[in-house]
A and B are shown apart, each in its own frame.
Chain A
Amino acid sequence: MDFQIAITGFVALYIFMLAAFSGWVIIGHVPAILHTPLMSGSNFVHGIVVVGGLFALINASSVQEQVIGFFAVLLGAGNVAGGYAVTDRMLAMFQVSGQKPKHAKHSPAQAHPSQKS
């Protein structure tokens, strides 16, 4: 870690504060219809923990660390892959219905003449 700038004390707090604020703003105006995909999507995003797991496992210097590191990567990879698969499936459905409203507005209009006759 010699090359990196050390993130200590207040610098860390600034990063946390700005990140928390970003999260708050990004989610702020989401319609309720997207709450489930969004929760699943943010679930995927914290899967980045797998990167930390990889760092810890690659730097393991005892069997104990190897075992714990293995589980860290295993669980993290599960978080990432599962989170992505589920979110992707959900959002693909919204894509379909996203194009639907135009049709939906037409169909009742078409239905009315038949009702009169």
Chain B
Amino acid sequence: MFTMLPQLIIGATDLAAAFLLMYGIKRMSSPVTAPSGIFVAGLGMLVAILASFLYIFNVSDAVKPFLTVNISLAVAALIIGGGLAWWSGKKVAMTAMPQMVALYNGMGGGAAGAIAGIELFGNKTQGVTQLIVALLGALIGALSLSGSLIAWAKLDGVIKKPLRVKGQQAFNGIVMLLTFAVGGYIVFMSQSGAAPLLPMPELIYLFFGCALIFGVLMTLPIGGADMPVVISVYNAFTGLAVGLEGFVLQNPALMIAGMVVGAAGMLLTILMAKAMNRSISNVLFTNFGTVAKHKHSNIKGNLKPTEAGDAGIFMRYAASVIIVPGYGLAVAQGQQKLYEFVKLLQAAGVKVRFAIHPVAGRMPGQMDVLLAEAGVPYDLIFQLDDINDDFATTDVALVIGANDVVNPAARTDKSSPIFGMPILNADKAKKVYVVKRGDGKGYAGIENALFYGDNCNMVYGDAQAVLIKMIEAVRGLGLSAAA
């Protein structure tokens, strides 16, 4: 009876934790209740982690000589891993958020893979079902680890260009088949051999190696514009791996939390892929942006630069302005200045709204977060479907640091790699100003016909510097009018 008490407490806390985690996510689905949602989920997590130390009371005799070391290792790992991640999470800039999420996600996948490793190397799985599930979880977890690390490196600028070689897809396919073959062979051997698993650590190493390499190979050729989808996919993968390892460990809290995240992540991925008018397999297995070269000749017209101050004054006397912010705004840290400019326009009676493309930024919804950080109230922020028809009746569209999401080629040019992607129809506004660093291309690496349009002027410069000039110009106007 005495040994059953810890089990009972662990069972009850895990149940409570599973409930709190799900309730927490549910609360996160509305902006009003969201902050309390993460707190509720955090509480559930804390309780589950503390309770898991009660496992100490139920270890087998073979484990007892190791127990002191095991406990100190556990405490050390929690403090080091948790401390470093907490510190980095608190200090990272909001613009660098996507790569941090990718990194933390990779860690979760790695943890699931490591658990599978212990079960496999230690021959702890019981029966063929558990073995197969452990292998599957190991594959998905390891793939998520290495894939997320590559995604992090790409988003952080460590890896600059998508790496593509001829026959890559075929090669990736072979690596995938090899991984499955090794896994299948492990299952076969364990069922037929007298001493299952234990004599074949080399095979298990090979299996993990293949899975890790596959994650790297799968992520390397994917272009930067598709990174939001990739992070979302790996997030779902890690959830799935956690759920599967939960089954192997016979822990329902892991099974439920992992599978909830797996399903939610899959749905989020589908929504995002839909926003880009592409299928998930198209994102993952097609080389994006490789047909960019012949685009040059199709575009007629000239780039027409103009002064920031003139553009600012023009908007001051417009009736309505729609702002299309992109990642370039975030890079220049111009959100605060942008909102200052918007408040000036509002004070002058201009109707100002923000139009956000679903994949603006490097993560779905990142632009919303960055504008919220600057204090922009979210009833000024509109999503693509809600505002796209209004461009035609709007005086000015101000495009800041965005490129591919306003490229009309997506509507008209069948040969363009972004053809079919829903875009913001900024080109239909009566006047378009594009704030841009230089003549460079967008993340997808293609020319933008919008910039050459008759109704478009380019304002060159760093977004923040340009906005400061616009603010000064409009303020100067107000003073002279008052005098």
Q: Tell me the bound Cα distance from A105 to B232 in angstroms.
A: 35
Contact with B along A81-117 (1 / 0, CB 8 A): 1111111111111111110110111011001101100
Query: In the complex, are the beta carbons of A68 and B78 less than 8 A apart?
Result: no
Q: Which of B31, B82, B83, B243 is close to A98, meaning CB atoms less than 8 Å apart?
A: B31
Query: Which one of A65, A77, A95 has the greatest number of beta carbons of chain B within 10 Å?
Result: A77
What number of B residues sit within 8 Å (CB to CB) of A?
Answer: 130
Q: Tell me the bound Cα distance from A85 to B94 in angstroms.
A: 12
Q: Tell me the bound Cα distance from A103 to B376 in angstroms.
A: 11
Which A residues touch B346, using CB under 8 A?
A: 107-108, 111
Interface residue ranges of B57-105 to A (CB < 8 Å): 59-60, 62-63, 66-67, 69-71, 73-74, 76-78, 80-86, 88-90, 92, 94, 97, 100-101, 103-105
CB distance from B3 to the nearest CB of A (A): 8
Interface residue ranges of A39-84 to B (CB < 8 Å): 39-62, 64-66, 68-84
Query: In the complex, are the beta carbons of A71 and B35 less than 8 A apart?
Result: no
CB distance from B426 to the nearest CB of A (A): 19
Q: How large is the interface on A (under 10, 10 to 19, 20 to 34, 35 or more residues)?
A: 35 or more
Q: Tell me the bound Cα distance from A79 to B235 in angstroms.
A: 11
Closest to A29 in B: B29
Which A residues touch B81, using CB under 8 A?
A: 73-78, 81
Listed stretches B256-264, B281-289, B440-448, B463-471; interface member:
B256-264
Query: In the complex, are the beta carbons of B378 and A71 less than 8 A apart?
Result: no
Which A residues touch B31, using CB under 8 A?
A: 31, 33-34, 94, 97-98
Query: In the complex, are the beta carbons of A49 and B108 less than 8 A apart?
Result: yes
Query: In the complex, are the beta carbons of B378 and A55 less than 8 A apart?
Result: no
Listed stretches B174-182, B326-334, B366-374, B450-458; interface member:
B366-374
A-B interface pairs (CB < 8 A), number: 426
Query: In the complex, are the beta carbons of B378 and A101 less than 8 A apart?
Result: yes
Q: Is B242 an interface residue (CB 8 A)?
A: yes
Query: In the complex, are the beta carbons of B8 and A42 less than 8 A apart?
Result: no
Listed stretches B48-56, B390-398, B400-408, B413-421; interface member:
B48-56
Q: Which of A24, A40, A68, A108 is close to B118, meaning CB atoms less than 8 Å apart?
A: A68
Query: Which one of B59, B63, B263 has the greatest number of beta carbons of chain A within 10 Å?
Result: B263
Query: Which one of B34, B90, B103 has the greatest number of beta carbons of chain A within 10 Å?
Result: B34
Which A residues touch B82, using CB under 8 A?
A: 77-78, 80-81
Query: In the complex, are the beta carbons of B107 and A103 less than 8 A apart?
Result: no
Q: Is B215 an interface residue (CB 8 A)?
A: no
Query: In the complex, are the beta carbons of A61 and B45 less than 8 A apart?
Result: no
Query: In the complex, are the beta carbons of A58 and B364 less than 8 A apart?
Result: no
Q: Is the interface of A mostly helix, strand, loop or mixed?
A: helix
Closest to B98 in A: A36
Q: Tell me the bound Cα distance from A56 to B66 in angstroms.
A: 13
Query: In the complex, are the beta carbons of A112 and B349 less than 8 A apart?
Result: yes
- Given A26-B29, A36-B363, A48 contacting B86 (CB threshold 8 A): no
Contact with B along A1-38 (1 / 0, CB 8 A): 10110111100100110011111101111111111111
Q: Is B21 an interface residue (CB 8 A)?
A: yes
CB distance from B339 to the nearest CB of A (A): 11
Q: Which of B267, B365, B368 is close to A23, meaning CB atoms less than 8 Å apart?
A: B267
Closest to B105 in A: A43
Which B residues touch A112, using CB under 8 A?
A: 349
Q: Which of B254, B264, B379 is close to A51, meaning CB atoms less than 8 Å apart?
A: B254
Listed stretches B155-163, B218-226, B244-252; interface member:
B244-252
Q: Is B119 an interface residue (CB 8 A)?
A: yes
Which A residues touch B111, using CB under 8 A?
A: 49-50, 52-53, 71-73, 75-76, 79
Query: Which one of B11, B29, B254, B272 has the greatest number of beta carbons of chain A within 10 Å?
Result: B29
Query: In the complex, are the beta carbons of B364 and A59 less than 8 A apart?
Result: no
Which B residues touch A76, using CB under 8 A?
A: 81, 107-108, 111
Which A residues touch B30, using CB under 8 A?
A: 31, 34
Q: Is B28 an interface residue (CB 8 A)?
A: yes
CB distance from B82 to the nearest CB of A (A): 4
- Given A62-B122, A93-B369, A86 contacting B89 (CB threshold 8 A): yes
Which A residues touch B368, using CB under 8 A?
A: 32-36
The 3 A-B residue pairs whose C-beta atoms are closest, nearest first, are: A85-B89, A23-B263, A82-B85
8 A-B residue pairings within 8 Å (CB atoms) = A23-B25, A29-B29, A33-B368, A35-B268, A38-B264, A48-B45, A82-B89, A84-B89
Q: Contact residues of A with B, CB < 8 Å? A: 1, 3-4, 6-9, 12, 15-16, 19-24, 26-62, 64-66, 68-98, 100-101, 103-105, 107-108, 111-112, 114-115
Q: A32-B364, A104-B377 are in contact. List 18 more A-B contacts (CB 8 A).
A: A1-B250, A3-B4, A7-B255, A15-B252, A27-B29, A43-B261, A49-B238, A49-B242, A51-B17, A70-B76, A76-B107, A76-B111, A81-B82, A86-B89, A88-B38, A89-B90, A98-B31, A114-B347
